[in-house]
Structure 1
């Protein structure tokens, strides 16, 4: 009994001569659909393609091995139904050289076969993680030392803002982290440049309109709302019998201020009111005759 595909799955299997983007949840059958699509491409139509003419890339070696195994099993099954098919016999042989691999392995395959076109020595090798980490750290150390020697105003301001104590280890860690993150983008320098533009702010008004400001304001409002809840609890305690009534006026005053702050809708309003906040002096609890556990 054959597999029963959904309408969308069957459409992915059958569509040809166009780009297709398939977005589906984990466990929804993407691999099975892709295998079926490949099998149909190499077995059906007037001019079925050879399996080694296809490029099938995955993110992990395990996924690539599973894909190759599934395609091989599907070819063997088709060959059982058509044992005299020379084309299927050929596919079973070619699958061992088919490009069913990870993205980085395919890139390495291309470089090894075309090293002479990019002026690369044929005996090159891929550095392991330990070697690459040491190389990055050496390069970064050289960059930092060079900047410390020149000490431009821009670098001095950067160092003042991020160097903690006598060590710049956190700065180096931050730079490496930023580098690794940027390299996950197809055009890392463009991404880094766009990040700089987000902080080129001439005045407070422009800062309030920055795309990163709204999430910050939402976070501050959340923190303020939590403080309001705690102050309300504290205020209730001051009103209880034997409670610390000596603190009631101060806590009531703080509660009113933080309720006003929590109600602010934007950065400018929050900035104006937060910078103007003053706190009343907490009175002494000497002579308090209530429950000391509530102080």
Structure 2
């Protein structure tokens, strides 16, 4: 490693020199990630081949992705500077000159720029017009807004079932404000674009809330069991941490918060009951048990004890109790299966209409981009 790089820490030097395996680096802002990545690139293209040819590669064989175009420009400049420094080292001068000649061919860019280049090189296989222009962020948002306006205008005038469901959705859930509905559609569309199969997800989302008789879909019930288990675990961990804090801070009061220790034990039992059941049938009995749970009364204790400490601990107990009632009793366990089924049946038309809106908007947006020879990577 060049003398200029001796200021790197041991961990940074390991990142620079490690080969033959994937390396994941996590560091705070300003910790030197860009510098370390630059040195790693230089090590791969200029340093490693001198000792282990199989551990290095040429610069045009690397893909370096940055968050912004400015960062890509800075990275390219830093790599060029590092190669020029190595030209003064007789042992690496020839290799450095070769890599400098390849610098203009190096793939150092944002992910969007790389994908744009890849599509243009293989436009036929990608089914893309070679004359298509890449939209910037503001243009893409403006075009989405225009497409939503066009689609909503058509639905306002439509006298079929789709038009009626659109107007019912707008009035029932968005107070007649189509601006709010448009923002929701755009937000869901943006989320689905991060998925491998966005259309399949929308179809599944609509299917999840369908009710057969008085029974919600098994998929939704299983998701509810999983989420309830996670909430029980969170509250169990809160109890454990609070009890540990009390025992460490006030050892003489370790026997006082019996309400917390009893709640912790009960939370563990409820989680076990959910985990041991092969079906979702256990969720209602567990919820009923949660809804009727009575907190153990805190012992009066010795009146000579520090009353200020007592009030601090009572405050911690009351916080756990309030959280238990707010999130579990009044939240997760508020409705039994028949009530859940009735609620789902009530919102099913709205959810189906919303998923259909997202799908139709996505189709219109894609058609509009194709007609105008535009691309984006949203």
Interval of TM-score (by shorter of Structure 1 and Structure 2): 0.5 to 0.7
Can you give the 5+ residue segments of structure 2 that lack an aligned partner in the other structure?
236-320, 336-378
Which of 131, 137, 151 is residue 123 of structure 1 equivalent to? 131
Alignment match, 2:22: 19
Could you say which structure has the greater relative contact order, defined with CA pairs below 8 angstroms and 6 or more residues apart?
Answer: 2
How far apart, in 2, do the equivalents of 1:155 and 1:68 lie? 51
Structure 1 residue 146: Cα displacement: 4.2
Larger CA deviation: 89-98 vs 14-23? 14-23
Q: Is the 8 Å Cα contact of residues 58 and 64 (structure 1) preserved in structure 2?
A: yes
Alignment match, 1:173: 183
Within 5 Å, which residues of 2 pair with 1:220-235?
Answer: none
Within 5 Å, which residues of 2 pair with 1:274-293?
Answer: none
The size of the alignment, in residue pairs, is 227
Can you give the 5+ residue segments of structure 1 that lack an aligned partner in the other structure?
219-259, 273-295
The alignment status of 1:267 with 2:343, answered yes or no, reads no
How far apart, in 1, do the equivalents of 2:116 and 2:135 lie? 12
SS in 2 for 1:31: helix
Structure 1 residue 76: Cα displacement: 0.6
Structure 1 residue 58: Cα displacement: 0.8
Cα RMSD over matched residues? 3.7
Alignment match, 1:161: 172
Q: Is the 8 Å Cα contact of residues 60 and 107 (structure 2) preserved in structure 1?
A: yes
Larger CA deviation: 129-138 vs 47-56? 129-138
Structure 1 residue 176: Cα displacement: 1.3
Which of 59, 64, 73 is residue 67 of structure 2 equivalent to? 59
Which of 75, 78, 81 is residue 70 of structure 1 equivalent to? 78
Q: Is the 8 Å Cα contact of residues 50 and 91 (structure 1) preserved in structure 2?
A: yes
How far apart, in 1, do the equivalents of 2:76 and 2:96 lie? 15
How far apart, in 2, do the equivalents of 1:97 and 1:121 lie? 24
Structure 1 residue 185: Cα displacement: 4.6
SS in 2 for 1:81: coil
Q: Aligned pair in 2 of structure 1 residues 60, 128: CA closer, same or farther (>3 Å)?
A: closer
User: CA offsets per residue over residues 237-272 of structure 1, 9 Å max, x none?
Assistant: xxxxxxxxxxxxxxxxxxxxxxx9877242369848
User: TM-score scaled to structure 2, two decimals?
Assistant: 0.50
User: CA offsets per residue over residues 153-211 of structure 1, 9 Å max, x none?
Assistant: 8656533422424x4222112211222233345554465566657756857x9697573
How far apart, in 2, do the equivalents of 1:111 and 1:9 lie? 35
Which of 46, 50, 68 is residue 58 of structure 2 equivalent to? 50
Structure 1 residue 26: Cα displacement: 1.8
Within 5 Å, which residues of 2 pair with 1:124-273?
Answer: 124-144=132-152, 145-146=154-155, 148-152=158-162, 155=166, 158-165=169-176, 167-185=177-195, 187-189=197-199, 192=202, 202=215, 211=227, 264=325, 265-267=328-330, 271=334
How far apart, in 2, do the equivalents of 1:261 and 1:42 lie? 60
SS in 2 for 1:67: helix
User: TM-score scaled to structure 1, two decimals?
Assistant: 0.62
How far apart, in 1, do the equivalents of 2:170 and 2:28 lie? 45
Structure 1 residue 101: Cα displacement: 0.7
How far apart, in 2, do the equivalents of 1:54 and 1:193 lie? 39
SS in 2 for 1:164: coil
Q: Is the 8 Å Cα contact of residues 54 and 99 (structure 1) preserved in structure 2?
A: yes
Which of 85, 89, 102 is residue 94 of structure 1 equivalent to? 102
Q: Aligned pair in 2 of structure 1 residues 194, 77: CA closer, same or farther (>3 Å)?
A: farther
How far apart, in 1, do the equivalents of 2:24 and 2:92 lie? 36
